[in-house]
Chain A
């Protein structure tokens, strides 16, 4: 139980285009989903927290207009990187928890984005 998937696993795009990444909880309903970013040889950094049906809460320094997050259902959250640039190239990882607070987070396999 507690499986989280992400799609796509790999994406290469041209600078200036937008990329959408999906995060799905496959066998449970996720009230809260999280989006992280990980640069090479660094640890995960939380980008934003989203609760189903409400606006995402972004961490300091993360541009909400650039990283659009939608959590329209209890099993799906999407992250759209708008007008992607090479510096946005990174490993994007989502996680999901049944509830907020201190509930265990289950992580997806990650999406590797390369912007040319």
Chain B
């Protein structure tokens, strides 16, 4: 499973877009990029996933670079409830959770 690298923490003002980066330079051609988030003391929540194309759903947008070596999760209008740890996972055989990015949305 390819390793991912994320910044340990980020702050974002409420109402602004939160852009969370992830590097996955060793990703293989058939591995998907998944994003989950975990709010304190809860199970991870699925956000979005993609292979090559950019994806958008009701929660977020996922931008994957053309070489697939990095991606960005975009929360278009962050709210206080979006404060959580965000995990970027490259899904080969297993979900391997790294330390993630702790996003703090500030009022």
B contacts, CB < 8 Å to A: 30-32, 34, 36, 41-46, 49, 87, 91-92, 94-100
Contacts and interface: CB of A to CB of B under 8 A. Distances in A.
Given A43-B97, A43-B99, A102 B43 contact: no
Given A34-B95, A43-B97, A45-B97, A110 B41 contact: yes
Contacts of B99: 43
A80 interface: no
Nearest to A6: B43
Contact of A104 (B30, B49, B96): B49
Nearest to A110: B43
Interface string A17-36: 00000000000000000101
A108 B98 CA distance: 19
A7 to B, nearest CB: 13
Interface of A: 2, 4, 6, 34, 36, 43-46, 49, 91, 93, 95, 102, 104-110, 112
Nearest to A45: B97
Contacts of A44: 44, 95, 97
Contacts of B45: 107
Given A102-B32, A102-B91, A110-B41, A43 B46 contact: no
Nearest to A49: B94
Which 6 pairs between the two chains have the least Cβ-Cβ distance? A107-B43, A44-B97, A43-B97, A107-B44, A110-B43, A109-B43
